[in-house]
Structure 1
Amino acid sequence: MRKVAVSLFVLLLASSLVGATTYTLPGSTSYGYPYNNIGLLGTVSMEVNVTLLNTAPFPKFIIVNPRYDFRVNRLSGSESMTAYLNGTQPVHVLPASLARNTLNYRVGFWIYPYEAVVVTFIINQNYSYPIPMENYQDVCGGQDQLSDLSYTNGTLTGGHILSGDDIGTMICGVVYPELLNAPKIVYMQSLFPLRDGNIRILKYNGVVHFTITNVPSQNGEFRTFFAVAIPVIFKGANITDFTPNYTMMYSDYVHRFIWRYMGVEAPTPPEPPSMPHVSNMFQLTNTLITGQSVEPVIPKPPAEPKFDFPVWIILMGKEVEITYHISWTTEGR
Structure 2
Amino acid sequence: MRSSKALVSFMLLIFTITPTFTLAQFEVVENNNIYLTGTVEMELNVTLVNLGDTPKYIMVNPRYQFEVIRENRTEFLYHNSTGATIIGNPTKTLLNYRPGFWIYPHEVLKVRFFINEIDKIPIPLYDYYQPYCTGYAYIEGDKLRINVPVGFYTVPICDVLYPQLLNRPIYLYPEALFNVKDFSVVMHGYKGIVKFKIVHNSTLGLPIRDVFAVAPPILFPNARIYGYFPSPTMSYSEYLDYVKGFWKLNIPKILLPTKNLTDEIVLYGLTDDLLTSKFEIPRVKNVKQINVEYPIWIIWLGDNSTFEITYKFEWGINKG
Band of TM-score, shorter chain: 0.7 to 0.9
Aligned residues: 259
Structure 1 residues 61 and 321, CA, compared in 2 at 3 Å: closer, same or farther? same
Deviations 1:248-298 (A, max 9, x none): 1111211x11123x2x5432759xxxxxxxxxxxxxxxxxxxxxxxxxxxx
Q: Which has more radius of gyration? A: 1
Task: Tell me the CA shift for residue 161 of structure 1.
Answer: 1.9
What's the TM-score once normalised by structure 1's chain length?
A: 0.72
Give, in angstroms, the shift of residue 149 of structure 1: 5.7
TM-score (norm 2): 0.75
Counterpart in the other structure of 2:310 = 323
Among 125, 130, 138, the residue aligned to 2:122: 130
Give secondary structure in 1 for the equivalent of 2:45: strand
1:57 to 47, 53, 77: 53
Which residue, out of 59, 66, 75, partners 1:79?
A: 75
Deviations 1:179-237 (A, max 9, x none): 01111111112110111111121111111000000122564732110000110011211
Listed as ranges, the gaps of 5+ residues in structure 1 are 1-29, 151-157, 271-301
Q: Distance in 1 between matches of 2:233 and 2:214?
A: 10
- Deviation of the 1:239 alpha carbon: 0.5
1:116 aligns with 2:102: no
Question: What whole-Å deviation, never above 9, does each CA across 1:118-177 have from its counterpart, x for those lacking one?
Answer: 111001111111111000011127732232262xxxxxxx33222222352223322201
Letter in 2 for 1:110: W
Structure 2: tracts of 5 or more residues without a match: 1-25, 254-286
Instruction: Indicate conservation of the 8 Å contact 2:40/2:123, yes or no.
Output: yes
Q: Percent identity?
A: 35
Report 1 or 2 for greater relative contact order, CA contacts < 8 Å, sequence distance ≥ 6: 1
Corresponding residue of 2:187: 201
Superposition pairs for residues 1-333 of structure 1, below 5 Å? 32-84=28-80, 91-140=83-132, 143-148=135-140, 150=142, 158-167=143-152, 168-216=154-202, 219=205, 221-254=207-240, 256-260=241-245, 262=246, 265-267=248-250, 269=252, 304-317=289-302, 318-331=305-318
Q: Give a deviation string over 1:3-27, Cα, whole Å, max 9, x none.
A: xxxxxxxxxxxxxxxxxxxxxxxxx
- The answer on whether the counterparts of 2:35 and 2:200 sit within 8 Å (CA) in structure 1 is yes
Determine the C-alpha separation between the residues in 1 that align with 2:108 and 2:102.
Answer: 11
Q: Following superposition, which runs of at least 4 residues in structure 1 exceed 6 angstroms of deviation?
A: none
Q: Aligned residue for 1:8?
A: none
SS in 2 for 1:75: coil
| Secondary structure at 1:165 match in 2 | coil
Deviation at 1:305, TM superposition (A): 4.1
